[in-house]
C-alpha cells in the first residue's frame, strides 16, 4: 500500500533502538525524511546511517534528552518543518509503589507525559496552519490494563492519554490527526530489562519468565519492532486522516476484552 507520505518530514523521538527505531524504519521505507533522536550518539549515528543507506532518505540525527527543555529545544532547532511527530521516551523503572517519592513521579511525568505534550505544543500549531499533520504518541498497554510494578508508567501515561483526548479533537478539522499507539509486550531492550526484573523478584530464570509471559499472549510470542513500526507508519499515512484521538492497542491479544 502506498502510504502517500513520500517527502513528508518526521521527528521520531527516542528512535535509535526498539519501538522508536521500528517506527523510524517504517516511515523511512515510506519515503519520509527523518529527524531521529536519542540521548547516546553512538547508537543513534549507527541507526541513522543504517536508515540512510537502506532506505535512501535524508536522516538528521540529534543526540538530546527529550525530558529536558534544553534537549527539546535542540531537537526542534535541528528539525525545522515537521509534518509528522512520533513521541517516545524510555519507560520509568519498575518497583514498589511504597518506595516511590515525589521526584520519581515528576521524572515519570516529564518523560512519559510532558515531553510529548511539549513537542505537540511546539509543532501542532504549524501543522494546523499548513492543513496537514500526524502525531503518534507511543504509550503503553498499561493505559488500558495497569501493571503493578509499573505504577509510575500507569500514572504518567494516563495523564498523556487525557491530554491527547482533548487536543486531538480540537485540531481534527485542520487536517491534523493525533493518536496514541499502545505497545503490549515487544521484543526490545526494555522488555529484556523487565523480564530480568521479574526474574529477580520470582527467583526464576529470565528464560522461564519470558516463556511464561509469552504463554500469556494469545499470539504466543512477543511483538516485533517492525510490526509496531508498520502500524505507526499507517497511523501517519494519508489513509489515517479519519482516525482521531484513538488508543490503538498492539499486544497480540493479551488484553482480554470484546471491545
Of residues 67 and 237, the one with the C-beta less far from ligand NAP: 67
Piece of 82-90, 128-136, 172-180, 237-245 that binds ligand NAP (CB under 6 A): 82-90
Residue 76 contacts ligand NAP per CB under 6 A: no
| Smallest separation (angstroms) from ligand NAP to the CB of 161 | 13
d(C-alpha 92, C-alpha 80), whole Å: 29
C-alpha 13/C-alpha 86 separation (Å) is 6
Quote the least distance from Cβ 11 to ligand NAP, whole Å: 11
Q: How far apart are CA 1 and CA 13, in angstroms?
A: 25
Radius of gyration of the chain (CA): 18
Residue (46 or 126) nearer to ligand NAP, CB:
46
**Long-range contacts at 41-45 (CB < 8 A, ≥ 24 apart):** 43/16, 43/17, 44/16
Residues 177-206 that bind ligand NAP (CB under 6 A): 183, 185-186, 188-191
* Torsion sign over Cα 41, 44, 48, 50: positive
Q: Interface with ligand NAP includes 38 (CB under 6 A)?
A: yes
Q: Is the distance from CB of 199 to CB of 205 less than 8 angstroms?
A: yes
| Grid coordinates given for 81 | 518543518
Among left, alpha and beta (phi > 0; psi -120 to 50; other), residue 7 is left
Cell of 77: 532547532
How near is the Cβ of 209 to ligand NAP at its closest, in Å? 13
Strand 9-12 and strand 84-87: pairing? parallel
Q: What is the dihedral of CA 19, 79, 136, 15, to 10 degrees?
A: 10
Contact predicate 67/110, CB 8 Å: yes
Task: Give yes or no for residue 65 binding ligand NAP (CB under 6 A).
Answer: yes
Applying CB under 6 A, among 14, 76, 136, 156 the residue interacting with ligand NAP is 14
Interface stretch with ligand NAP, choices 27-35, 61-69, 197-205, 239-247 (CB under 6 A): 61-69
| Window contacting ligand NAP (CB under 6 A); options: 28-36, 88-96, 195-203, 242-250 | 88-96
Quick one: cell of 188?
A: 526490545
Spell out, one character per residue from 216 to 245, where the chain touches ligand NAP: x when CB under 6 A holds, - when not: ------------------------------
Residues 102-141 that bind ligand NAP (CB under 6 A): 111-112, 138, 140-141
**Residue of 12, 89, 178, 209 that binds ligand NAP (CB under 6 A):** 89
Q: What is the rounded CA–CA span in Å between residue 128 and residue 174?
A: 5
* Chosen residue from 3, 5, 9, 16 binding ligand NAP by CB under 6 A: 16
Stretch near ligand NAP under the rule CB under 6 A, chosen from 1-9, 62-70, 93-101, 205-213? 62-70
Contact set with ligand NAP (CB under 6 A): 14, 16-20, 37-40, 43, 65-67, 88-91, 111-112, 138, 140-141, 183, 185-186, 188-191
Amino acid at each position: 500500500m502506498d502510504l502517500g507520505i513520500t517527502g513528508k518530514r518526521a521527528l521520531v523521538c527516542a528512535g535509535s533502538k526498539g519501538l522508536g527505531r521500528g517506527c523510524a524504519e517504517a516511515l523511512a521505507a515510506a519515503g519520509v525524511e527523518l529527524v531521529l533522536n536519542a540521548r547516546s550518539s553512538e547508537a543513534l549515528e549507527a541507526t541513522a546511517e543504517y536508515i540512510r543507506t537502506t532506505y535512501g532518505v535524508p536522516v538528521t540525527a540529534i543526540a538530546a534528552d527529550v525530558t529536558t527543555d534544553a534537549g527539546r529545544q535542540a531537537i526542534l532547532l535541528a528539525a525545522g518543518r515537521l509534518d509528522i511527530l512520533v513521541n517516545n521516551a524510555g519507560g520509568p523503572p519498575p518497583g514498589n509503589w511504597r518506595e516511590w517519592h515525589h521526584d520519581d513521579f515528576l521524572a515519570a511525568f516529564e518523560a512519559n507525559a510532558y515531553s510529548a505534550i511539549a513537542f505537540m505544543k511546539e509543532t501542532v500549531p504549524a501543522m494546523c496552519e499548513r492543513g496537514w499533520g500526524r502525531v503518534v504518541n507511543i504509550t503503553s498497554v498499561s493505559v488500558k490494563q495497569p501493571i503493578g510494578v509499573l505504577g509510575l508508567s500507569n500514572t504518567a501515561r494516563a495523564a498523556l492519554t487525557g491530554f491527547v483526548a482533548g487536543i486531538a479533537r480540537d485540531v481534527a478539522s485542520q487536517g491534523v490527526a493525533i493518536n496514541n499507539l499502545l505497545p503490549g509486550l515487544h521484543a526490545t531492550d526494555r522488555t529484556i530489562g523487565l523480564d530480568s526484573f521479574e526474574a529477580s523478584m520470582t527467583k526464576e530464570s529470565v528464560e522461564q519468565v519470558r516463556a511464561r509471559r509469552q504463554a500469556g499472549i494469545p499470539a504466543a510470542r512477543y511483538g516485533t519492532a517492525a510490526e509496531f513500526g508498520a502500524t505507526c507508519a499507517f497511523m501517519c499515512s494519508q489513509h489515517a486522516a479519519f482516525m482521531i484521538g484513538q488508543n490503538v492497542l498492539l499486544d497480540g491479544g493479551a488484553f482480554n476484552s470484546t471491545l
